[in-house]
């Protein structure tokens, strides 16, 4: 079994703003594209244009309609990927050491050359963040685009995960959550960022910023526009009068 590092001073991860995410799936598409064309084995699809298409994705967006007490219903878009947990059960259950957590930055990765596709890590992950590639027969998961964030050949603004760089709403933030003074840590503190399913005891590095409740004023219907009445002239005016008599 694989052992976890005792601690990691640096904890690279994501902060996702559920109040800002619009569910456009741009992060899903950019993640699929980047990880298919670059790091590791491609993310395959099976029967993509058939009646029952399936494929491998490292990031998915789920949408839920919620009804807070005494408040209007609202739609919440919930992106989900690997949370790079401090106490990652997917790592400790791996029989070959293919799943591991890096001591230098806390990123959880899979060595695809060592993965035997047993699926134990998927069973152990309480978030459903791992997927078996149907073609490669190895486990895939979010890498935080480790091949981007340290790539000095890229412009500095591109040295972030593909999903963060692509998000048009600015709902995804990347940084060191082990540094209390980092921009992401300050954001979590100011907005009351939370862990996903803290009762699991996995200590996820990624945080979620809760959505703000919408009040009744936000949902008031606008006043109807007054009808526009214009007198038709010529042939159209004559036809309009004839039709009124029918």
Q: Per the domain annotation, does 184 fall within a domain?
A: yes
Q: Per the domain annotation, does 240 fall within a domain?
A: no
Q: Per the domain annotation, does 31 fall within a domain?
A: yes
pLDDT of residue 213: 75
Q: Per the domain annotation, does 208 fall within a domain?
A: yes
Q: Per the domain annotation, does 168 fall within a domain?
A: yes
Please give the tally of structural domains in the chain: 1
Q: Per the domain annotation, does 224 fall within a domain?
A: no
pLDDT, averaged in runs of 10, over the chain (246 residues) = 82 97 96 82 88 94 87 89 96 96 96 95 96 93 95 94 96 97 97 96 97 65 64 71 72
CATH number at residue 71: 3.30.70.20
pLDDT of residue 212: 83
Instruction: Residue 52: give the domain boundaries.
Output: 12-219
pLDDT of residue 181: 97
Q: What is the 3-state secondary structure (H, E, C) of the chain?
A: CCCCCCCCCCCEEEEEECCCCCCCCHHHHHHHHHHHHCCCCCCCEECCCCCCCEECCCCEEEEEEECCCCCCCEEEEEEECCCCCCCCHHHHCCCCCCEEECCCCCCEEECCCCCCCCCHHHHHCCCCCCEECCCCCCEECCCCCHHHHCCCCCCHHHCCCHHHHHCCCCCEEEEECCCCCCHHHHHHHHHCCECCCHHHCCCCCCEEECCCCCCHHHHCCCCCCCCCCCCCCHHHHHHHHHHHHC
Q: Per the domain annotation, does 232 fall within a domain?
A: no
pLDDT of residue 195: 97
pLDDT of residue 125: 97
pLDDT of residue 72: 80
Q: Per the domain annotation, does 244 fall within a domain?
A: no
pLDDT of residue 246: 63
């Amino acid at each position: 079994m694989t052992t976890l590092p005792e601690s990691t001073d640096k904890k690279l991860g994501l902060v996702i703003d559920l109040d800002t995410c619009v569910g456009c799936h741009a992060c899903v598409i950019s993640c699929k594209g980047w990880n298919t064309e670059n790091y590791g084995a491609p993310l395959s699809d099976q029967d993509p244009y058939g009646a029952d298409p399936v494929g491998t994705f490292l990031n998915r967006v789920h949408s839920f309609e919620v009804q807070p007490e005494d408040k209007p219903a609202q739609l919440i878009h919930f992106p989900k990927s690997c949370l790079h947990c401090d106490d990652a059960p997917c790592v400790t259950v791996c029989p070959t050491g293919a799943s591991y957590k890096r001591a230098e930055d806390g990123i959880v990765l899979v060595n695809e050359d060592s993965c035997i596709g047993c699926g134990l890590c998927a069973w152990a992950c309480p978030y459903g963040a791992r997927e078996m590639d149907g073609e490669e027969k190895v486990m895939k998961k979010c890498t935080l685009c480790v091949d981007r964030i340290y790539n000095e050949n890229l412009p500095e603004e591109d040295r972030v995960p593909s999903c963060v760089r692509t998000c048009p709403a600015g709902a995804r933030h990347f940084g060191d959550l082990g540094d209390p003074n980092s921009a992401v840590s300050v954001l979590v503190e100011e907005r009351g960022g939370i862990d996903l399913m803290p009762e699991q005891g996995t200590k996820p590095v990624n945080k979620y910023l809760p959505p703000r409740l919408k009040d009744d004023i936000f949902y008031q219907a606008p006043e109807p526009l007054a009808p526009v009445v214009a007198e038709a002239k010529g042939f159209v005016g004559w036809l309009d009068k004839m039709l009124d008599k029918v």
